[in-house]
Structure 1
């Protein structure tokens, strides 16, 4: 079955390269490291080294917590971090600097993976979340390189997809030396697909251990001082097509009551900024693009209604600038984004109903009364107005979210201790 999978990869490779070329119109970095995607990474010296793979920004943020814990336990350990996306690479450089060596993840082709492993010389592979690559794990198994899946998640929808190719999925899972699942539901789904039960354990979610970037709080405080502590500021984070218009409608209505209210609007994909800028003008609201604004030079006057974030990697401090944060991907059926990022900075959380990608986290927040739900621009306006007029309610929401964080920390430490029990990985 893996032979058919590999054949499909080779057949799709020209189209993947064309897709990279097309997407590079907006992200030049997609092509700049094409050689690494074929396994041509810089040669690494043969010393104890963990290879950690984190797909994009969210996984890099989670991995950074694990990396810091690993380095605290084994300062001499070398770490190679791979990402799939340029935004993930940028986040890795911002959070980890020279603490790790960054490369791009190879295509899951036998020759590319083999070339990568020869050059990387890892003593173990640690993959975050749900990255099951049959050829990669088969090559690691053949070369006696222990492979682990940590912070492992598997939604019912993904499980159904893997179940369509049962023999390939079972073989791939059996090439893993261990799976550290986020919760018992994820663990049960991995076992149902063929993972050896004795190799699966539940160690919690690394996202609860995340911390804000070191410069986030002071940078956010400086901007709030510049804007004025009493100015109502809210953030629309990681929005997707279909969400921007309702947010702008809600903001337009909000400014009828609070004329100085400022919306920080951060689309998930910054190349949509031109379209969103047009929407702002259609709603007769003055908009400033982040790339046209230097926070050290000019404050945002009250007549500016929207600061449009057409950059990547700035949500870490933008959350800290807001009084309230709407977490996107939830008004449309995308499945939501990580609500713990605003929680780590003490910012009240608003969300739409479609949060299946973070179902368990949202359930915990809901049980603690730490999230406010909405399903329309009208509902959003009402919630915003209520919260801006009641600072005690905002504080209660933030405190409740902090309580959820405190109750579920410690996954990074547990994962490091679990890895240390696998002597072949050291």
Structure 2
């Protein structure tokens, strides 16, 4: 789940440079309910930051499904690329866009707001450093008694952000132009969200009032909200700290492929190919092969450009060992002093992504890093109520449901707690008959 390192780092062997380069890239997603303005906001970011080309602008200006009056550009069409999305005026699939400012590079994931496409929001959020939760001021119910009722999708997406351990949460109170930029409306909504976030356990909250359609406080500061003294959205995104702790974590190297020579050479070349998910590996390091428990010593680290003395998280390498061991795809090479935990019973929070409900009589495939093993759900421990954030007993897990479950796996699984290491603490469940992904899971202690 970490970002790929710059090619200069791959050949330079400099850990501190690697960390500083990764801090220059921010991955973020937009989330919220239907028609909250997610696609328009991203379009405005791209348009005002000069992140689109003239031919793209010309194309969306002539689009037959644009939803603006006159010659006004429909900025949502920059991300809604599917014909069904443009026709219905909704986002269905995750759309990724890249842009840069003089201070930072960005990868944006525009995710759907409809409840039925929650699975796509989970996909986009799985690699994000930050999330922009859009709140449409025209949809929030403001009671005469001072009460504020947030939309269920706002709560759902915030809950998923918490489960996925997304570091930064930006609460973008959108369409302020529809309430005449009323500060009291903004303050009430922010107070209600912060109360919900505290209940949820979200900590790094950044509220901001804006209008994506008009461009207020997106890239340019709005003169219509002089009461807001904070940064614009782009300034806030440029300032967020993103420190990749994967370099400081213990080594986790899932074996993707065993490389052998073609049989016409005298030396018996045997290398283990894959991507370093966390940590650092050096020549001479002592490793443990999991789940077998055999120990080994690193003989060499190879890339397309040649041999390395050291490699770090994010690099794809081939590791050669001094010992001849039985290692195959799906095995994990870990730090000998800090190996992953071997699990036969997995406890996890899952987001159910299938229209077919969970059937505990059936067997599923559990895909974890490069390993795929048979698994069976033995128990639904608790179901999570999105509104109250309370967990309660339940016997059925259906589409978009969030639950804590227990699984038995056919073989020991070398894994980590998701809160400690996202890359080796996450998995998906696959229906063994249809081969459809039915759940996304985050391993957590019992």
Q: Above 0.5 in TM-score?
A: no
- Structure with greater proportional strand content: 2
Structure ID, larger Rg = 2
Q: TM-score range by the shorter chain?
A: under 0.3
TM-score, structure 1 normalization: 0.28
- Structure with greater proportional helix content: 1
